Structure 1
Amino acid sequence: MILRKSLLATSILAATLGLTACGGSSSNDSTPTTPTTPTTPTNAAPTDITLSSSAVAEDVVGAEVGTLTAADDADTGHTFTTDDVRFTIEDGTLKLNSHHAMNFEQLAEGETITVKVKVTDAGDLTFEKDLVLSVADTASTAGVNVYEFDTKLTGESGSSVSYTGQTARHALSAEIKSYMGKFNAEYIESLGTDAPTIARARLDALWGDYAAVADDEISHLGDSAALAAGYTQTTFSQISGSGKELSGKIAGADASKMYKDWLKEDGSGLVGWTNFGENAKTPEGLVKHYFDLFESQIQKMVGGEQLKDPAGNVITKAYITPEGLDLVQLVQKHTLGALMFSQGTDDYLDDGLTSQNIEAHKDGKSYTSLEHQYDEGFGYFGASRHYLESSDDEIAKKGGRDTHQGKYDANMDGKIDLAAEFVWGNASNAAKRDRGTLQNNVTTDFTAVAMTNFIQGRKIINDNVGVALTAEQMTQVKAHVFGASLAWEKAIAATVVHYINDSLGDYANIEDGEYTADEFASLAKHWGEMKGFGLNFQFSPFSPFADNDLNPKKDSVGPAKFAELHTLFGDAPVLVQADIAAYKTKLEQAREILKVAYDFNEDNVLGW
């Protein structure tokens, strides 16, 4: 037994020596051993990327999607990136950019979105993957994605939202545009020699005599039958009772709440236009000047004078001047700025925020003064209350559901409420410009940024009815106001860029001096929209061009750049052949000013 153990021990020893000695020699072999070289671990590239959630909520600007994880031979040291401009990645979390929200209504049924994500490990090895996301539809919810808030005052259910006066003024402005657009040679002839007087009387009434037009049908929406069948309100008075003159709300009419004195005529008031005829050099004086030019054009046509453009084409539309001014566009676009944008941002959403939030605005009202001031500011933007429930195509009336073309019967009563279910003014333009960036490098979402900020600011106010807002709460409200106002203004600025591009395109047709009447009218229209919208920026204290402490770009952009912008535009399109090339360069310079002022992407600026 002992012998066997000894033999076993000897065998184990021999085997061990055989593993560690060269050639497995005996213990008498003195050849030194060679140590083995340690194996260096090999880094392998990541093999997969996973996301903790595959759905993104709609109507949430900057919404978080989920946490990214890499399948790799190491658990740490991973960096995630994406070139998809809609998204950003922060601390391993995929989220939408701060200027973007998803819109479920923008997608076809069952459509998903794809975002390419790349992971880089500590050894600089990479892996890319297309992550497929669905967009989660958010039900229409008051105070979330619908501008609707219940009253907190009466103890009864009901809305605390009211801005019918703003809607009435939108309708009046649209009516003026429609009415002026009727005046071609044939229509003027049908009115006879009294055409100039008839036209001016109607414009003056629509502008400054609400009592005279309040019970008139809103004809730009259709004839009597169409109005009765399709709309809750068929006359202006059915929108809002009395005292809704445009003249009473244009910048300068109520100087107490304006950040600058618009009635000054020394160059410190209205900037951007030179010739006012016999009128004061004020925002309203400019409207009256355009009316004067319109009346004069009609008078000349009635008197038998043949109006011609510089190429000798006969002008048959009284609102197109031989100098290339489209008076329809100039009047309407200037009004959208000097009245709607001015009142919205410089009145209700600035000084208006100092109003009380404790008790009813007036006896019997379902809202506080602060709620009402905020609503009136929102009303001038022109969005319907269910604005986010339509796609950009639908808001812009460029596709989508037939039931959502610039309006939507949200309460399903068979008619459109003009104060709640109709899209007016710049709210429509915001969608048009968002559509124009879908194929470009950086998408915009002026619609969602403006609307979500409007809703979130109003919710803070509504949640605190009956008590004064704290300093922190008011700071939050003001942040939402700034976000909404800037998105509103960016939509205007993008529209100016759009019409700069259109004007440059028109010049390709007329710079040789030979062009048709339609080509001339096209330049006049696009230039008028460019110039009219371009006058808007000065009316907001939040604007990059404003001389106001609410403007964070006061020192880098400011009023001097605004004056330069309009020096480049001039007061009429350049029509002298020899000067057109230089003027086109000026328009490009103006476009660059807007790009810098609003931090626009180069591809968007060229593509709008």
Structure 2
Amino acid sequence: MTSIVKRTAALSAAVILATGCKYDFESAFDSGSAVSYSGQTKRHVLIEDLVDEILALPARPVAGNINVASQLNFYFDYDGGTSDGLMHSFAIDGESLLQDGTYGGISSGKNLSGKIAGNDPALINGEFFGWELGMDADPTPEELVDYFFAEVDAEAKSAAINLVTAGGPASITTPYISPEGHDYRQLIQKFLLGAVAFSQGTGDYLMTDFRATNVQEEGQGYTEGGHNWDEAFGYFGAARNYPDYTDTELAQKGGRPEFAGYNDRNGDGVIDLMGEYNFGNSTNCAKRDLGTAGNTNPTDFTTDVFNAFFYGRFALNAAANLGTMGNTEVVLIDAMAKQASVVWEKCISATVVHYINDVIGDMNNFSNGQFADEANFTDLAKHWAEMKGFALGLQFNPRSPFRTGDVQGINLNSLKTALALMGDAPVLPDGTQNGVAYAGGTEQYITDLLEARDILEQAYEFDPENVANW
């Protein structure tokens, strides 16, 4: 049998010339595309619409008869049978979408709760860790989401937060920020990207037995293994022509207007959410690459992760055409699955480092035991929530350096330590965390965050200059 590895080497140049190194693969079974991940796109839209629902809450106090938690659960426990005909709120300013505007027009059924870690797939070693506030003795990711929703409901119905700052009194009416400094909008979004998208992609679909699943799914233009790979790519969130974007464009910090996070690559005048828009962690990779562009050892996460997804899928498509897969091919595909998983995780971890740096910067702006101003408080809440929300997701990848032993001195306890050092709330200017005095106050918390950052630097073998400047 001709090895798929040899065929890959012989055909790679032709494939790249034909596709422009885009995530496009023709079916081995019919005249259509072999690529399909509509359910993953719908879940990204559900997360985006959930965030929009939070942002649309009126200033606190919200009327007591409004069940905010129920409104948020519409998206988490989404019921396609009753809601697929409803219009979603996802939109791109000035652009039309290919999908018809309904949830069912993206994909039928699907929800977030059924795919969260602990429900599907099972928790690794039956364990969820890193957050204690409001949890029972056997916490799950779904329990934490329920807790976050309940807290948003309670905060939204509470009176405004009266804040004393160095610049004078301030009244915080944002309905999703707590007096203790929790920005639940950020906590919810970032946690779901980890506990649903990252968990599903790395802990489920990229862990597939690809040899055993090199068979056509009944009535479909793809193999089971190829479809699983696509679903992982869909959860990563990248557009099919991801390499055509610059990091600046993916980060929506400038560049060509037609590549401002999305691109009508086929010129049909509409944006296809299943291929022409960049969701979720795919943009975090670019932001972190952009943050190292002027450094001695810049990262190229976007290239590394896309190449893994592209070449793994190419090999799977070749196997589908051949109808067989040998040991060498399995090794190649598994290597690409590991690369995709680990680089994806590096993008998340580097983003945690970025927000550790932001939190420390916010704390350095404290003024004589007070917030400098209202923005100092809201910035701290936002940055801390993004830091902790993303960090909680690092536990869901079976190929994580915290689980494999690939990095000397790093194990799962290292991640547990980093999460514990972050705590379940920021330390405020008065030296309290969740209303309790923090031993050593703000200076000690900054020291603890730097220790957590050091753990991440070691685990992912990040360049110290990049870590200091992300």
Compute the TM-score of the two structures, normalised by the length of structure 2.
0.89
| TM-superposition CA deviations, 1:416-470 (whole Å, max 9, x none) | 1001111000001100110000111211011000001100011111011152311
Distance 1:202 1:140 in 2: 48
Q: Secondary structure at the match of 1:295?
A: helix
Is 1:509 aligned to residue 375 of structure 2? Answer: no
Distance 1:562 1:139 in 2: 39
TM superposition shift of 1:209? 2.3
In structure 1, the partner of 2:102 is 235
Distance 1:399 1:544 in 2: 34
Distance 1:213 1:603 in 2: 49
In structure 2, the partner of 1:289 is 147
Q: Secondary structure at the match of 2:266?
A: coil
Q: Secondary structure at the match of 1:313?
A: strand
Compute the TM-score of the two structures, normalised by the length of structure 1.
0.69
Distance 1:344 1:310 in 2: 44
Distance 2:255 2:279 in 1: 18
Is 1:606 aligned to residue 459 of structure 2? Answer: no
Is 1:529 aligned to residue 386 of structure 2? Answer: yes
State the identity %: 38
Distance 2:363 2:185 in 1: 21
Distance 1:204 1:583 in 2: 34
In structure 2, the partner of 1:272 is 130
Is 1:486 aligned to residue 348 of structure 2? Answer: no
Distance 1:388 1:340 in 2: 21
Distance 2:42 2:138 in 1: 26
Distance 2:71 2:204 in 1: 29
Distance 1:539 1:310 in 2: 40
Q: 161, 165, 168: which one pairs with 1:307?
A: 161
Distance 2:372 2:17 in 1: 51
Please give the root-mean-square deviation of Cα atoms over the aligned residues, in Å: 2.2
Given the superposition, is the C-alpha separation of residues 399 and 279 from structure 1 closer, same or farther in structure 2, using an over 3 Å criterion? farther
Check conservation: 1:544, 1:558, Cα contact below 8 A. Answer: yes
Given the superposition, is the C-alpha separation of residues 511 and 500 from structure 1 closer, same or farther in structure 2, using an over 3 Å criterion? farther
More strand by share: 1
Matches within 5 A, 1:425-436: 425-436=280-291
Given the superposition, is the C-alpha separation of residues 511 and 213 from structure 1 closer, same or farther in structure 2, using an over 3 Å criterion? farther
Given the superposition, is the C-alpha separation of residues 240 and 329 from structure 1 closer, same or farther in structure 2, using an over 3 Å criterion? same
In structure 1, the partner of 2:72 is 203
Q: 348, 356, 371: which one pairs with 2:205?
A: 348
Given the superposition, is the C-alpha separation of residues 149 and 518 from structure 1 closer, same or farther in structure 2, using an over 3 Å criterion? same
Distance 1:278 1:429 in 2: 32
In structure 2, the partner of 1:556 is 409
Check conservation: 1:250, 1:338, Cα contact below 8 A. Answer: yes
| TM-superposition CA deviations, 1:202-239 (whole Å, max 9, x none) | 2111110232443333314258xx56x34434222111
Check conservation: 2:211, 2:330, Cα contact below 8 A. Answer: no
Distance 1:314 1:213 in 2: 38
For the pair shown, the structure with the greater C-alpha radius of gyration is: 1
| TM-superposition CA deviations, 1:509-553 (whole Å, max 9, x none) | 22521432221010000000000001111000111112xxxx242
In structure 2, the partner of 1:377 is 232
TM superposition shift of 1:184? 4.2
TM superposition shift of 1:378? 1.1
Check conservation: 1:511, 1:580, Cα contact below 8 A. Answer: no
In structure 1, the partner of 2:175 is 318
Unaligned runs of 5+ in 1: 1-137, 262-268
Unaligned runs of 5+ in 2: 1-14, 432-440
More helix by share: 2
Equivalent pairs, count: 442
TM superposition shift of 1:354? 5.3
TM superposition shift of 1:255? 4.3
In structure 1, the partner of 2:447 is 585
Q: Secondary structure at the match of 1:314?
A: strand
Check conservation: 1:352, 1:374, Cα contact below 8 A. Answer: no
